[in-house]
Amino acid sequence: MIASTPAVKRPPHMAFEALVSEGAEVMAGLSGLRIMMALAGFYTALVPLSNPALADPALSALRVGEMRKLIVHEVAETVPEIAFADGGGAVKSFADWQGRVRVVNFWATWCAPCRAEMPGLDRLAREMPEVSVLTIATGRNLRPALDKFYAETGITDLPLLLDPKSAVARGMGVAGLPVTVVLDKEGREAARMIGEADWASEEARAVLRELALR
């Protein structure tokens, strides 16, 4: 399940010409929330169409269990360097974690599946310190609501990172929430997950260990 949020860019690895053409015709008569919902459905529909035969063979072999919906790229892709902020207002970018595998999770306080997967991400950050787990609250998220959620859920090992205007999310082609993008040590997108997953699962850890060894 994913929650809809606006997006203006579709990443190249998901640009299936036929679907884009058909989707454009459908969305020509839509607006506002209906467009958001259509975009979320469009991205979800692409998951089963991703071709494992064209992807990184070692990572593709690990697309089982919790990772069966993981979209693995044939060649890791460059991501835009767009600034975001931490909870204290300091400007951050993905380069601040250069040289490490990064699990970049886009979420929001109003997104139920996002909230459901946060404890697993927190556990991953705590139990797999060689991987950087970056949880970016995108869009309009009131600070009191963020702090309350962290406190009530017992989140202790996840950073509070903010993308209030959704600039990072749009730049990375995020059309619905949650979306988790896995960056390799060079900061390139190796894979992405659309929708929630248990990132503390053994299947998820196997994917991340494979990337960490490279």
Tell me the domains of the chain and their CATH numbers. 3-212 (3.40.30.10)
Per-residue tokens: 202 = 């053994």
Q: Are 205 and 213 in contact (CB under 8 A)?
A: no
pLDDT at 13: 41
Mean pLDDT, the chain cut into blocks of 10 residues (214 residues total): 50 41 43 46 45 71 94 94 96 97 98 97 97 97 97 97 98 96 96 97 96 90
β partners of residue 91: 85
Helix (H) or strand (E) holding 58: helix 57-60
Q: At what angle do helices 112-127 and 143-153 cross, to 10 degrees?
A: 60
Bridge-based pairing state of the strands 161-163 and 131-138:
parallel
Using CA atoms, how far apart are residues 85 and 91, in angstroms rounded to an integer? 5
**Any idea which residue has 């835009």 for tokens?**
80
pLDDT at 35: 42
Using CA atoms, how far apart are residues 37 and 35, in angstroms rounded to an integer? 5
Coil, helix or strand at residue 74: strand
Instruction: For residue 20, count other CB atoms closer than 10 A to its CB.
Output: 12
Using CA atoms, how far apart are residues 175 and 152, in angstroms rounded to an integer? 28
pLDDT at 201: 97
pLDDT at 3: 64
Per-residue tokens: 116 = 């459901």
Kindly report the length of the chain: 214
Radius of gyration (Cα) for the chain, nearest Å? 16
Closest listed residue to residue 131, CA positions, set 97, 174, 94 = 97
- pTM, whole model, 2 decimals? 0.77
pLDDT at 2: 60
Helix (H) or strand (E) holding 43: helix 33-46
User: Count of H helices and E strands in the chain?
Assistant: 7, 10
**Any idea which residue has 């190249």 for tokens?**
12
pLDDT at 22: 44
**Any idea which residue has 């790229």 for tokens?**
73
pLDDT at 54: 53
